Structure 1
Amino acid sequence: MPEGHTLHRLAKLHRERYAGQAVRVSSPQGRFAASAVDGRVFERAEAHGKHLFHVYGPDATVHVHLGLYGTFTEHEHPVAEPVGQVRMRLVGATHWTDLRGPTRCEVLTDAEVAALHARLGPDPLRADAEPRLAHERIARSRQPIAVLLLDQRVIAGVGNVYRAEVLFRHGVHPLTPGHRVDRALWDALWADLVVLMRAGVAVGRIDTVRPEHLPEATGRAPRQDRHGGEVYVYRRAGLPCLVCGTPVAMAELAGRNLFWCPTCQPA
């Protein structure tokens, strides 16, 4: 599932290509009520966590959640015939976009959009985020911090990669109970997520390794993985920690794979 930086990157791209234009919106697959926004002015696009919003004005916002299989494909004119199951097609003056396989694609009223935002935790990539709200929930919980970081009601946009990497970078064992994460530690975790996720928006991939641990600094081979990016522990189970050499550990927690270094992140 895409992490929050991907949705913010899409929102930025769609703002640049469609904002201020009257656009054509259709549903070749027939499963999306495109007529509610077809021909209207695309006012802006924004993201909150793993949710994307195309705003068309009063009581008309297209809400997209990509889920595990959703994808946008971006094209320049001319517009081609739909291929495959296209849930939503968006056509502007110079570009067009197809959406396939999302978990959600729907038109919401302003009240429904506000209710959705209210259910989500603060997003490190949004200017209106209030990190104290996330810490208030974390401080009341005995659940592991690794579980809480993936709870979109606590903090929006963090996925399995950012979770594993930010905990490693701060030496936090993933099973540390939330109530043992004090405000100073939380502020440090939050600030690091802001930096890492902004970098993800800029370059389109997740890089978390500090300069002194990069391949060009250490002489090691670059990471070979379809997700790209240099990371410390994510999907590196059994390989030596880039800092101390201890084999990276892996376990399942709440249905998701968990990665950490037993030495750098002691219990």
Structure 2
Amino acid sequence: MPEGHTLFRLATSLRDAFAGDVVASGSPQGRFQDSAEQLDGLTLLGASSRGKHLFVDFEQDRAVHVHLGLYGKFVVRAVPEPGPAPDPVGQVRWRLVSGSAYADLRGATACELVTPEARQGILDRLGPDPLDPGADPERAWARISRSRAPIGGLLMDQAVVAGVGNVYRAEVLFRHRLHPLRPGRTLRRGQFAALWEDLVVLLHDGVRAGQIRTLRPEHAAVAREASKVERRRVKNYVYRRQGQPCLVCGATVRTEELQHRNSFWCPRCQPVFRSRAVG
């Protein structure tokens, strides 16, 4: 599933391609036909993201909410010279076309015309987004510091932190030597602050690079050597590296299902948390 940096980049692409333009809006597949017709011929004002949710804004106070889910793709391309835009291919739920660009949405979990009230309701259900400069991490800390749930699950809960998916979850926990099953309420405030600050850095780097990059510079050379053994480029510390040696300590990376998603960790770098409290 695309993580927060992907939606942030998509919102930027849509703004760059269409903001201020009158657009043609249609639904070649037909599933979004009625709503698409209401937007046809309107000016697209902009686009924004919060976590894994995308909002495309039009004049007349109209907006479309998109959630890509596991399989959704929203591709923005320039109209080839001398035009027009090519015919849609496959199951295109929503198509936008201007004089210079077109965009096709396929396979999304959600594509819906929403009222301002419905949009605010979606936003109210989301936790702070590390990509939002105005985000309040205290909201996330309030939830985590009271919860017995594992930190690996809390980070994936979009009501706690918006935009973190399975890759960022696994990698940021490794970077901070936290076992994914450690109860949220056992984290110290300083540990959470460091975790949040790292997520801000990592997601912004993902926006700039267009891909998730989590390796620290001192481990890049180790990753290059590991790539020769694994016969593929090693880009992460633990994500999808189960059964492979940890880039830092050499222990075998493990995996286990956590809340219906695979979790990855190093048993030596991320030891199981043992409470020092005497019961």
Task: Give the TM interval when normalised to the shorter protein.
Answer: over 0.9
Which structure's CA Rg is the greater one?
Answer: 2
How far apart are 1:204 and its partner, in Å? 1.1
Instruction: Give me the TM-score of the superposition, normalised by structure 1.
Output: 0.95
The answer to whether the 8 A contact 1:124-1:193 is kept is yes
How far apart are 1:74 and its partner, in Å? 2.5
Question: Which of 109, 112, 115 in structure 1 is aligned with 2:121?
Answer: 115
1:143-154 alignment, distance < 5 Å: 143-154=149-160
The percent of aligned pairs where both chains have the same amino acid is 54
Distance in structure 1 (CA, Å) of the matches to 2:156 and 2:57:
27
Aligned to 1:28, the other structure's residue is in SS state coil
Structure 1, unmatched stretches of 5+, are: none
Instruction: Find the counterpart in structure 2 of residue 204 from structure 1.
Output: 210
The answer to whether the 8 A contact 1:250-1:257 is kept is yes
1:188-199 alignment, distance < 5 Å: 188-199=194-205
* Alpha-carbon displacement from aligned partner over 1:198-236 (angstroms, at most 9, x marks no partner): 1111111111000110137864436766xx771100000
Aligned to 1:8, the other structure's residue is in SS state helix
* Alpha-carbon displacement from aligned partner over 1:148-168 (angstroms, at most 9, x marks no partner): 000001111000000000000
AA of the residue aligned to 1:49: G
Deviates more, 1:72-81 or 1:179-188: 72-81
Instruction: Give me the TM-score of the superposition, normalised by structure 2.
Output: 0.91
Instruction: Find the counterpart in structure 1 of residue 131 from structure 2.
Output: 125
The answer to whether the 8 A contact 1:205-1:229 is kept is no
Question: Which of 145, 149, 152 in structure 2 is aligned with 1:139?
Answer: 145
Aligned to 1:221, the other structure's residue is in SS state helix
The answer to whether the 8 A contact 2:155-2:161 is kept is yes
The alpha-carbon distance between structure 1 residues 185 and 58, as it changes in their structure 2 partners (threshold 3 A), is: farther
* Alpha-carbon displacement from aligned partner over 1:87-120 (angstroms, at most 9, x marks no partner): 0001122110111111110111111111110001
* Alpha-carbon displacement from aligned partner over 1:24-58 (angstroms, at most 9, x marks no partner): 11111111110222111111110001111101145
Matched pairs, number = 265
Distance in structure 1 (CA, Å) of the matches to 2:141 and 2:221:
35
The answer to whether the 8 A contact 1:36-1:60 is kept is no
Instruction: Find the counterpart in structure 2 of residue 248 from structure 1.
Output: 253
Distance in structure 1 (CA, Å) of the matches to 2:70 and 2:224:
35
How far apart are 1:20 and its partner, in Å? 1.1
Distance in structure 1 (CA, Å) of the matches to 2:197 and 2:38:
40
Instruction: Find the counterpart in structure 2 of residue 19 from structure 1.
Output: 19
Distance in structure 1 (CA, Å) of the matches to 2:31 and 2:182:
44
